[in-house]
Amino acid sequence: MAKKKAVKKKKSAKKKVKKSKPQVYLRSDEELKRAEQYLGAASKTLPLSQSFFVTSILGFIISAGLMLYGTISATWGFAFCLVFVMMLIASFVTIHPKEEYHN
């Protein structure tokens, strides 16, 4: 009898362990409208302009070049490169396809 109880406990332990499926969270239309209202004027300026993108690339290249050739110190060169890389990342983040591609 002791063996039967042990076997039953093992089987019941196996049954209790279940893998849960990940839940997919989709945003409702209300949440999207609230996000648009929250952005307000910022949504009009996004995506960032092409001149902002070009400025970030040129600024990074120039500051990296000046730093490598020793015209400016490594500290200032790194600081300028960091700023221009952040500008570049900001321009990439705000890119989205034109309205005509949304179906």
Domain ranges across the chain: 49-94
Using alpha carbons, list the distances in angstroms from residue 42 to 37, 45, 86, 87.
10, 5, 18, 16
For the stretch 28-54, pLDDT in tens is 667 667 766 766 655 555 678 889 999
Over residues 53-85, the pLDDT tens digits come to: 999 999 999 999 999 998 999 999 999 999 999
